[in-house]
Structure 1
Amino acid sequence: MNQSKSASEILGNPDHQAFSFGGYRGLSRDSVPSVNQLKEGLRILSAMDIKLLRTYNTQQYAHAANLLEAIHQMKQENDGFEMYVMLGAWIDCEGAWTDYRNHEAEDLKNNQAEIDEAVRLAQKYPDIVKIIAVGNEAMVHWAEAYFVSPAIILKWVNHLQDLKKSGELAQDLWVTSSDNFASWGGGDSSYHKPELEALIKAVDYVSMHTYPYHDTHYNPHYWQVEDSDTLSEIEKVDNAMLRARDYAISQYQSTKDYIKSLGIEKEIHIGETGWASKTNELYGNEGSRASDEYKQKLYYDHIREWTNGAGLTCFYFEIFNEQWKDASNPLGSENHFGLITLKGEAKYALWDLADQGVFEGITRNGYAITKTFDGNKDALMETVVPPRSLQLSEN
């Protein structure tokens, strides 16, 4: 018989590893993957023993609805199949994506539709939808095209909490917002406002994002290395990736410290973190030199080890490459955060699973799951360069 656990049983449980999931394959989200196409991805994830997925929109595209139906059907077909979803409702400010943005007001029509569809889907699939996230990086100020004040997120969180109290939503459903660590008070004090404190009290847990990858460019001092004649090139890379792990941990800790300073006890889990394997932009060999599959694997392994050991859930971003994210630039970093390529190649982070036969007999988009670089590690390592030295960067 199919299992159905509560959010409190799933979050922080190392037996329920999590991924951010987007099943899009084309250059535009207008081409929504079908239920059967999404089942291909679910078979891969299930073979990896993944049991928790995160989505980003509810009604703008049919992806979330199709994914939930795909999981539902697979549960009907196999009593042992177990998969849960953190359903994301997209939140925009008034005039989002235009030159007339008002960050203190909201796009009520869009936001109401997103929340209403989240409620409908949670009611239709209560055995699958265990978390609703109000907004994705919807409060962080660098999301200039659409961010809103915490008061707007709080309004919708309270609405969902009221539906739980009235019995219209399951009481064991958890409600949060998924946002950058700074938005939760772990960074700039400009975010430290009464409405944020009220939001922290209102959510069931804090879903926090951390991206050391991006800060290899925006905060390079953490990433760059001192000149050394004693370390090999690969030792410099290995040490840099340990610093990346510690950088993520420090952002988690600063968020935890801020929440504690308010006298609030609240669970924190990692709603998003990841590392791109390729780019021709800021993080490439002409920039911070952060992007290759070796570094991606180290980051993935370090983050899983840390979060599992600390009793945290980590929605690692992401399982599949998605080329719509930067459709005009195939080598854009946003297209290469996945651990599996569009051609079904498992990147270095998953080579060990491929060697174990985990993906045997499974295909996606007509491709068997093989290994990048044809499994040739020497060829892979030729793409790896260490960060620049501090001395060279400052001269």
Structure 2
Amino acid sequence: MKLKTNIICIAIVSIIMCACNQNPKSKKHMQTAKQVTAKDILGNPNYLAISYGGYRKKSRDSQPTLEELKDDMKLLSAMGVKVLRTYNVQLPHASNILKAITELKEDDDNFEMYVMLGAWIDCLNAWTDQPIDHDVESPNNTAEIERAVALANQYPDIVKVLAVGNEAMVKWAESYYVQPSVILKWVTYLQELKENGKLPKDIWITSSDDFASWGGGEEQYHVEDLEKLIKAVDYISMHSYPYHNSHYNPEFWGVPEAENDLSDIDKIDAAIKRAIQFSKRQYDSVTNYMKSIGVNKPIHIGETGWATVSKGFYGPNGSKATDEYKQGLYYKLMREWTNSAGISCFYFEAFNEQWKDAQHPNGSENHFGLFTIDGKAKYPIWDLVDTNVFDGLTRNGNPISKTYNGDKAALMKDVLVPPALNEIMANR
């Protein structure tokens, strides 16, 4: 009887010791997850950021499955990406991403991924056949904000930023833009929820918009409500697209007379370096405006990117900006600049999405991804394929391979030299 009792005691002690050995690790993991805040993540080069949409089909009515989202999360994690940006919570996409990340974390304590959760904001009658009123917001905005709040509270270990609107103030977004007062209203509301303990206290609130909308462009944007908004957000999330400006504001893009004697590849490389300088000037313009109103807050890049196919303004009959080589150089130089400067860059985007311009398969909006829809790695990340980081991972059931079958000579046949600057100016 005594022997049996001793055996039982030893078993109990062993269980307790085992629990003691495991719990600190588990608690430490939980504490680490809770302690990682937006302040820790944003501007930290160890937390690469990217804009993400997992849509495979030509309509968002076809939502990616949970398993498809998990496959994408694994690919992005293998690239060193740890922060995703989403755009709306009207559809199941964002909430399913959060579920997918949660399940991946349950399967692997070391899996780490965070989300900048976007709430879409519209004006009255946006996307309808009714007269659009940019001075009145859509009644749908309230429910969108409340859905975002619910998800932020449900997944506090993952959602680290709430973004009110996407390019919702810039006036070229004619289908839906609102006045800064609308964004200010919702940012203020979210900040009050945070103060009252109805949102995690460490979550950061922002809006993600064009550099001009943040005061870096025309004076028409320099209004009192924008000043109040800049003071209300936790940081500024600005967009910069030299790619699009290669058509709309191409002075930086064209080959200047002083470079006429360079080789074609040197002309292309010089043009991409000017594109980076273009983005830096936009970043500085927002910084200068912010400081001019007595504010000093972090500024991060909510979007920038480069398409690889275009039959429109940016293709062979336009600015000739579009191909994988230029995307690769832009991606490399953009990461180098932002990582060294302590700026988060939510590079646009992870994967091609064909719903964006479903009627035009070769429209540039469908081709901003670093991956094709079927899982081919484009030129910017060929080196990651070479280092086997994607081994064992798939997209749509396909192992990750290189575009052009990894043949750079074949790729370069599609690369065009930007037009001469004097030619561009003569045609304007």
TM-score by length of 2: 0.91
SS class of match (1:68): helix
1:11 matches 2:42: yes
Letter in 2 for 1:34: T
SS class of match (1:248): helix
1:193 matches 2:231: no
2:300 to 269, 275, 278: 269
Q: Paired residue for 1:251?
A: 282
Post-superposition Cα deviations, 1:69-109, rounded to whole Å, max 9, x if no partner, equal 0000111110000000000000000111235111111002x
SS class of match (1:159): helix
- For 2:82 and 2:401, the matched residues in 1 are separated by 22
Q: How does 1:102-251 map to 2 (within 5 A)?
A: 102-108=133-139, 110-227=140-257, 228-251=259-282
- For 1:229 and 1:217, the matched residues in 2 are separated by 20
- For 1:142 and 1:230, the matched residues in 2 are separated by 38
Letter in 1 for 2:79: M
SS class of match (2:148): helix
SS class of match (2:209): strand
- For 1:284 and 1:64, the matched residues in 2 are separated by 32
- Which segments of 5 or more consecutive residues in structure 1 lack a partner in the other structure? none
Q: How does 1:62-101 map to 2 (within 5 A)?
A: 62-98=92-128, 99-101=130-132
Residue 392 (structure 1) shift: 2.7
Residue 226 (structure 1) shift: 2.1
Residue 208 (structure 1) shift: 0.3
1:324 matches 2:355: yes
Post-superposition Cα deviations, 1:222-245, rounded to whole Å, max 9, x if no partner, equal 100124442001100000000000
Post-superposition Cα deviations, 1:350-372, rounded to whole Å, max 9, x if no partner, equal 00000000111100111111000
- For 1:372 and 1:305, the matched residues in 2 are separated by 23
Stretch moving more, 28-37 or 17-26: 28-37
Post-superposition Cα deviations, 1:304-337, rounded to whole Å, max 9, x if no partner, equal 0010011000000001000000001110000000
Residue 36 (structure 1) shift: 1.2
Post-superposition Cα deviations, 1:139-160, rounded to whole Å, max 9, x if no partner, equal 0000000000000000000110
Query: Percent sequence identity over matched residues?
Result: 58
SS class of match (2:135): strand
Q: Paired residue for 1:364?
A: 395
Residue 391 (structure 1) shift: 2.6
SS class of match (1:85): strand
SS class of match (1:323): coil
- For 1:229 and 1:120, the matched residues in 2 are separated by 57
Letter in 1 for 2:67: N
- Which segments of 5 or more consecutive residues in structure 2 lack a partner in the other structure? 1-28
- For 1:237 and 1:14, the matched residues in 2 are separated by 27
SS class of match (1:324): coil
- For 2:197 and 2:158, the matched residues in 1 are separated by 17
SS class of match (2:374): coil
SS class of match (2:365): helix
Q: Paired residue for 1:335?
A: 366
Indicate if the aligned counterparts of 2:253 and 2:421 stay in contact, CA closer than 8 A: no
Q: Paired residue for 1:278?
A: 309
| Count of residues in Structure 1 that have an aligned counterpart in Structure 2 | 393
Post-superposition Cα deviations, 1:102-146, rounded to whole Å, max 9, x if no partner, equal 1111002x1011100000000100000000000000000000000
Letter in 2 for 1:310: A
Q: Paired residue for 1:390?
A: 421
- For 2:62 and 2:95, the matched residues in 1 are separated by 14
Residue 210 (structure 1) shift: 0.3
- For 2:201 and 2:373, the matched residues in 1 are separated by 39
Post-superposition Cα deviations, 1:51-79, rounded to whole Å, max 9, x if no partner, equal 00000001x21000000000001111100
- For 2:268 and 2:75, the matched residues in 1 are separated by 30
Residue 343 (structure 1) shift: 1.5
- Based on CA coordinates, which of the two structures has the bigger radius of gyration? 2
Q: Paired residue for 1:355?
A: 386
2:61 to 25, 30, 55: 30
SS class of match (2:302): strand
Residue 348 (structure 1) shift: 0.2
Letter in 2 for 1:161: Q
- For 2:338 and 2:201, the matched residues in 1 are separated by 27
